[in-house]
Structure 1
Amino acid sequence: MDELSKKLNRYFPGRVVRKDLTKKIKEGANVPVYVLEYLLGMYCATDDENSINDGVETVKNILAENFVRPDEAEKVKSKVRELGRFTVIDMITVKLNEKLDIYQAEFSNLGLKGVEISPQYVKDFDKLLAGGIWCIVKMSYFYDEEVKMASPFNIDSLTPIQMPHMDIQEIFEGRKHFSKDEWIDVLMRSVGMEPTQLEQKVKWHILERMVPLVENNYNLCELGPRGTGKSHLYKEISPNSILVSGGQTTVANLFYNMASRQIGLVGLWDCVAFDEVAGIKFKDQDGIQIMKDFMASGSFARGKEEKNANASMVFIGNINQSVDVLLKTSHLFEPFPEAMANDAAFFDRMHYYLPGWEIPKMRPEYFTDEYGFITDYLSEFMREMRKRSFTDAFDKYFKLGNNLNQRDVIAVRKTVSGLLKLIYPDGNFSKEDVEEVLRYALVGRRRVKEQLKKIGGMEFYDVHFSYIDIETMEEKFVSVPEQGGGKIIPEGLSKPGHLYTVGRGKSGMIGVYKIETEVVNGTGKFEKTGLGSDREAKEAIETAFRYFRANSKNISGTISTSKKDYLMHVEDIQGVGLTSELALAAFIALCSGALSRPVQSQLVVLGSMSIGGTINKVEELANVLQVCFDSGAKKVLIPMSSAADIGTVPPELFAKFQISFYQDPKDAVFKALGVE
């Protein structure tokens, strides 16, 4: 045993289990982890190797004898009949038969239906009525030929394979004996992971997966590669969450069945996880609207009344391309079905976007052989913590920056609350502890906001999330790793003939383009590269060179178009497709190259021109300026014809730039080169 396992056994005796035992038996028995660990906790809660081996054999025998395999259902039924009494482990679901006024149980693997069950069990364990629970059931058999309708099978006693009660004070007391890092490692081991093999950020992501289980009405999205264990926690570890596989569902099943007047999954489970978001489909037209309503407020209207429920929503799916490609060509919510993929209001309700691509694919060494909490104990702890709230925990030390709107604030508060409940359940944390959690929460919500900006444009322009230290009034900003800390437009002067412009690409998205021009001795030839087969972009560059040849002497008498060759390369930096709005920028780049004079530092040139030099105004100026800002531009050159649109730009965005207006192409060249 390592030190951490010894500490766990010392402070939580009987509440821990050696996870390699779970693994060994799990590979041969198709039962959820919490079923196995309940049994292992009963028979192997010791550190004596011989007793453990005996306990493992006992558990194996119980599973071999009593666990019902679907293909052996008839054999087990026969055993109950022949022996008169027999104990089985099976998934039990209960329905009320109102015609006979009795509750009837259905055995999942045994295939039995209509077995009468005492109302007391239904009162004590209401989850029997929704989705069912794994139970140890003592059964008997009595056939009465007088009663034709009744099942001869009887339930003598039923024990859910879950902890009957939980003393939260036990966790609070035990937690005091562990450091922050030790406690995080305990949580990792409790869900089966080996912390010594995981990077720090991966541990935080696995903790974030647990937040929907400790926080009410929390909406989490995790998209990433296959094989990173996205659904494992919701399917195997917690008996309080349900995994909706395939994504197909109905409003009646998920929210409320108006015919039977029964609340759906959101009222009966702590967490509803949708596996494979690409397949989410409602048979009802209003399904997504009701889901949006529920995700925002925790309530929904069906029929005449409004219903409240506490379930968290988790959306899990696969990203098939690399994140870089997805960020350039689309947005990170693209795997969602079409009905949702462009619905910014739906994604705005996500409290956190967990970057699944930062979690490694699961290999044997990532699974632990050490001690961790029995998963059922862990689940009950998480369930108990749902009754508490730490949403105001950071108010004592920090306030949030002005780029966060009300939805952003709620999202960040919920994430902070959830992580603090997991790491510091006793509420004992310092300013540094809170700051670490707050930064993590801001990054995940900013990731949502960055994608919303791509889907919904200007409405979501304020993505520069920050928090302010109340003591020093210092404002600290957070960035999203995959957006890249390095800006597209670097600081300092670029080479002569190099400049940036922003325009709408073939894909319909606004992107940044870099034009590079080389001027060498020659005979007046003009070569262009990087344009592929895009006819409109080629025409725009040709227009620029023809205008340059005709008007270069107006710029400077030193420019030669007959004794120099001009080579131009256009780069579509963000992969949004080439644009037809390149002529004016290309003309300035040619003049800059010919004069060997660089354009101003961190400048973006906006606007395009016709072959006669007529300037066209910039469409969607606010969105274009937002892209300029995100790319690192400090100065922007705008056509005078766009001055009327300045009112559409949020003042705080407009204030980020040094803006110059130009009247015509010649004016644009002088202002770009800093020649007044």
Structure 2
Amino acid sequence: MEKWESILVDQFGSAAVNKQAVLENKIESVPRYVSEYIIGVYGVDGITRATIDEACDFIRAHQFSGQQLGLLKQKLVDEFLAKVLDKFKIEIDIKKNENKVLMSTAQLPNIIASPSLAKEYPRLLVDGVWGLGELRYYPPGYHFMNEDRENKEGIIELQKFKPLQLSDISFELYQQARQTFELESWINMLISTMGLNYQNYELREKMILLTRLVPMVEESIFLMEFGPPGTGKTYCYDNISAHSRVISGSSISEAQLFYNLPRRAPGLIMQYDVVLFDEVDKVKNRGIDENVVNKLYKYMASSTFDRGEVEMSSTCGIMMVGNIPSEQEFQEKLLFEEILHPRLRTEAFLSRLAGLIPGWELATIDKRDVSITRHYGLMADYFSEILHELRRENFQTLLNQHIDLLGANIRDDDGVRKIMSGMLKLLCPHRQVDQEVLALVADFAVELRQKVLNQIFFLTGNSNYEVKLSWRFKDE
């Protein structure tokens, strides 16, 4: 165990885990942050083969896949009671004054939540929570919760719930703990928490990896990343944060992304901190739905959108990732032209991007024993909530006090400062920022925005984008 790992365990206690052990024994049927939580519960005194087996047995006994829905129904009919591991969400039906329950895997009909659960676990009303739910079945004709109403079709009640992901954290303790780490050790801890072996990466590559987390900590930021397959572009969005959502194949409708008018249901950007459009290179021919792109134009500029006659707002970030063709030599100058559909490579759309992440500089994660971390890191669920909490922090005032951008218009300035703010939240959540760190972050943020300007110039030839961004300290 390295010195920084000892500090991590000392500062964070049970929130610090042996990442190698939990990743090598990840339980595939649940998200990584849930898997780590369950393994941590059974392995509180150390992760062994026996504790892994216990965790797997627990999941097998309580999780029902879509194909096993009939088995769950039979259990409820025979025994009237079942404990189920799933992601639960409560939706309030105002007309019927009922708390309806949605389950992400075992999608049972007619589930009503006990009134106390929404008050006890308010996150059930937001984006849902993974946990162990106790379901009670009331057959047709039986009175439900001592009510006199008719029960014609049978009712299932979610009467008890135990979260299997963290619901409360102390952000202040996280900030205080950062003070005990050197910057290099803190960066290594973050990379290890992401599941990667920090020893495989130089500082620049670590900065590229950490930029993937920026939309999780900075509100209303829009980025793109392109690189070879297998570099982990999507991995952290699928496995690290419960507040991010991946759109596979980038296929989605207006109603799904923004707001479903007939159902009066919020779309993904109203429910998550960041939405990732995956494999945008694979939709080059057909493109993302034109109506979705048109809505994104306004949303990416103002964080608002119109549905029907109502204007709505969100702080959800947008991330787009894609693979670089492997059959030909990579030329950065031709990147957007070769990968993006014409709808996504217009000046109006691209100018709204804060930055372009050079994922092509990262090596493929191919050998597990080499690429995956061998060190301690923060439990995925704990880290997920920290990232979510960091969105509330404001680093813009600090940047305005110390940094001037040169050659930048309003969108350039906004994009660079958002990237800088996000990186500082990750590197210095305790707000103790020296000039060395500011310079590191400023150089990197300016470069990512400069890559966007270069791409627009390559595509359009518009001389307004043939500019060179730079920065300086205000006291220079």
* Letter paired with 2:3: E
Return the offset for 1:366. 1.2
Matched, 1:256 2:255: no
State the alpha-carbon separation in 2 of the partners of residues 338 and 87 from structure 1.
Answer: 50
Listed one character per residue, the Cα deviations across residues 574-628 of structure 1 (whole Å, up to 9, x for unaligned) are xxxxxxxxxxxxxxxxxxxxxxxxxxxxxxxxxxxxxxxxxxxxxxxxxxxxxxx
Listed one character per residue, the Cα deviations across residues 515-559 of structure 1 (whole Å, up to 9, x for unaligned) are xxxxxxxxxxxxxxxxxxxxxxxxxxxxxxxxxxxxxxxxxxxxx
Counterpart for residue 307 of structure 1: 312
* Letter paired with 1:33: R
Task: Tell me the SS of whatever aligns to 2:396.
Answer: coil
Is the 8 Å Cα contact of residues 219 and 316 (structure 2) preserved in structure 1? Answer: yes
Counterpart for residue 413 of structure 1: 417
Note closer, same or farther for the CA distance 1:127–1:314 as it changes in structure 2 (3 Å cut). farther
More displaced, 406-415 or 279-288?
A: 279-288
Note closer, same or farther for the CA distance 1:325–1:222 as it changes in structure 2 (3 Å cut). closer
Counterpart for residue 72 of structure 1: 68
Matched, 1:376 2:381: yes
* Letter paired with 1:229: G
Counterpart for residue 85 of structure 1: 81
Structure 1 segment 368-407 matched on structure 2, within 5 A: 368-401=373-406, 403-407=407-411
Return the offset for 1:222. 0.7
Compare the two structures and name the one with the higher helix fraction. Answer: 2
Structure 1 segment 322-361 matched on structure 2, within 5 A: 325-327=330-332, 330-332=334-336, 334-341=338-345, 343-361=346-364
Counterpart for residue 30 of structure 1: 29
* Letter paired with 1:108: S
Counterpart for residue 109 of structure 1: 105
Can you give the 5+ residue segments of structure 2 that lack an aligned partner in the other structure? 143-149
Matched, 1:172 2:175: yes
Is the 8 Å Cα contact of residues 226 and 361 (structure 1) preserved in structure 2? Answer: yes
Return the offset for 1:217. 0.3
Is the 8 Å Cα contact of residues 137 and 154 (structure 2) preserved in structure 1? Answer: no
Return the offset for 1:210. 0.3
Counterpart for residue 15 of structure 1: 15
The correspondence for 2:464, drawn from 445, 460, 464, is 460
More displaced, 162-171 or 443-452?
A: 162-171
Return the offset for 1:321. 4.9
Is the 8 Å Cα contact of residues 136 and 160 (structure 1) preserved in structure 2? Answer: yes
Give the length in aligned residue pairs: 465
Listed one character per residue, the Cα deviations across residues 117-156 of structure 1 (whole Å, up to 9, x for unaligned) are 2355446666656764422212233324355544343212
Is the 8 Å Cα contact of residues 259 and 267 (structure 2) preserved in structure 1? Answer: yes
Task: Tell me the SS of whatever aligns to 1:138.
Answer: strand
Is the 8 Å Cα contact of residues 81 and 140 (structure 1) preserved in structure 2? Answer: no
Note closer, same or farther for the CA distance 1:282–1:338 as it changes in structure 2 (3 Å cut). closer
Structure 1 segment 259-658 matched on structure 2, within 5 A: 259-278=262-281, 279=283, 285-321=290-326, 325-327=330-332, 330-332=334-336, 334-341=338-345, 343-363=346-366, 364=368, 365-401=370-406, 403-472=407-476
* Letter paired with 2:446: L
State the alpha-carbon separation in 1 of the partners of residues 58 and 41 from structure 2.
Answer: 12
Identity %: 27
Counterpart for residue 39 of structure 1: 38
State the alpha-carbon separation in 2 of the partners of residues 258 and 132 from structure 1.
Answer: 21
Is the 8 Å Cα contact of residues 270 and 312 (structure 1) preserved in structure 2? Answer: yes
Is the 8 Å Cα contact of residues 393 and 434 (structure 1) preserved in structure 2? Answer: no
Is the 8 Å Cα contact of residues 255 and 264 (structure 1) preserved in structure 2? Answer: yes
Return the offset for 1:421. 0.3
Counterpart for residue 230 of structure 2: 227
Counterpart for residue 3 of structure 1: 3
Task: Tell me the SS of whatever aligns to 1:291.
Answer: helix
Task: Tell me the SS of whatever aligns to 1:13.
Answer: helix
Note closer, same or farther for the CA distance 1:347–1:144 as it changes in structure 2 (3 Å cut). same
State the alpha-carbon separation in 2 of the partners of residues 108 and 395 from structure 1.
Answer: 44
State the alpha-carbon separation in 2 of the partners of residues 283 and 466 from structure 1.
Answer: 34
Listed one character per residue, the Cα deviations across residues 3-52 of structure 1 (whole Å, up to 9, x for unaligned) are 232221111111112122322332x5321101111212323234x56xx5
State the alpha-carbon separation in 1 of the partners of residues 347 and 162 from structure 2.
Answer: 46
Return the offset for 1:332. 3.1
Listed one character per residue, the Cα deviations across residues 162-220 of structure 1 (whole Å, up to 9, x for unaligned) are 31112111101111111001111111111111111222222111110000000000101
Is the 8 Å Cα contact of residues 130 and 265 (structure 1) preserved in structure 2? Answer: no
Is the 8 Å Cα contact of residues 452 and 460 (structure 1) preserved in structure 2? Answer: no
Can you give the 5+ residue segments of structure 1 that lack an aligned partner in the other structure? 473-676
Is the 8 Å Cα contact of residues 90 and 100 (structure 2) preserved in structure 1? Answer: yes
Listed one character per residue, the Cα deviations across residues 391-416 of structure 1 (whole Å, up to 9, x for unaligned) are 24344443211x21110111010001
State the alpha-carbon separation in 1 of the partners of residues 351 and 19 from structure 2.
Answer: 39
Query: TM-score, normalization: structure 2?
Result: 0.90
Q: Greater relative contact order (Cα 8 A, min sep 6): structure 1 or 2? A: 2
Listed one character per residue, the Cα deviations across residues 463-515 of structure 1 (whole Å, up to 9, x for unaligned) are 3111124444xxxxxxxxxxxxxxxxxxxxxxxxxxxxxxxxxxxxxxxxxxx
* Letter paired with 2:464: F
State the alpha-carbon separation in 2 of the partners of residues 286 and 75 from structure 1.
Answer: 42
Listed one character per residue, the Cα deviations across residues 38-83 of structure 1 (whole Å, up to 9, x for unaligned) are 212323234x56xx55533331221121122333333343334444
Query: TM-score, normalization: structure 1?
Result: 0.64
Return the offset for 1:298. 1.1
State the alpha-carbon separation in 2 of the partners of residues 384 and 92 from structure 1.
Answer: 22
State the alpha-carbon separation in 2 of the partners of residues 258 and 126 from structure 1.
Answer: 25
Is the 8 Å Cα contact of residues 112 and 155 (structure 2) preserved in structure 1? Answer: no
State the alpha-carbon separation in 2 of the partners of residues 198 and 303 from structure 1.
Answer: 48
Task: Tell me the SS of whatever aligns to 1:332.
Answer: helix
* Letter paired with 1:45: V
Note closer, same or farther for the CA distance 1:320–1:198 as it changes in structure 2 (3 Å cut). same
Is the 8 Å Cα contact of residues 287 and 343 (structure 2) preserved in structure 1? Answer: no
Is the 8 Å Cα contact of residues 127 and 268 (structure 1) preserved in structure 2? Answer: no
Is the 8 Å Cα contact of residues 194 and 367 (structure 1) preserved in structure 2? Answer: yes
Is the 8 Å Cα contact of residues 183 and 423 (structure 1) preserved in structure 2? Answer: yes
State the alpha-carbon separation in 1 of the partners of residues 287 and 329 from structure 2.
Answer: 31
Return the offset for 1:327. 3.8
Note closer, same or farther for the CA distance 1:160–1:460 as it changes in structure 2 (3 Å cut). farther
- Of the two, which has the highest radius of gyration? 1
Return the offset for 1:87. 1.9
CA RMSD across the alignment: 2.5
State the alpha-carbon separation in 2 of the partners of residues 138 and 443 from structure 1.
Answer: 52
Task: Tell me the SS of whatever aligns to 1:228.
Answer: coil
State the alpha-carbon separation in 1 of the partners of residues 418 and 440 from structure 2.
Answer: 15
Is the 8 Å Cα contact of residues 193 and 378 (structure 2) preserved in structure 1? Answer: yes
Note closer, same or farther for the CA distance 1:383–1:124 as it changes in structure 2 (3 Å cut). farther
* Letter paired with 1:335: I
Is the 8 Å Cα contact of residues 416 and 446 (structure 2) preserved in structure 1? Answer: yes
State the alpha-carbon separation in 2 of the partners of residues 124 and 300 from structure 1.
Answer: 33
State the alpha-carbon separation in 1 of the partners of residues 221 and 214 from structure 2.
Answer: 8
State the alpha-carbon separation in 1 of the partners of residues 12 and 50 from structure 2.
Answer: 22
* Letter paired with 1:12: F
Listed one character per residue, the Cα deviations across residues 321-343 of structure 1 (whole Å, up to 9, x for unaligned) are 57865445x343542223223x1
Aligned structure 1 segments of 4 or more residues deviating by more than 4 angstroms: 93-101, 122-132, 280-285, 321-325
State the alpha-carbon separation in 2 of the partners of residues 356 and 299 from structure 1.
Answer: 29
State the alpha-carbon separation in 1 of the partners of residues 179 and 330 from structure 2.
Answer: 46
State the alpha-carbon separation in 2 of the partners of residues 126 and 274 from structure 1.
Answer: 28
Counterpart for residue 145 of structure 1: 141
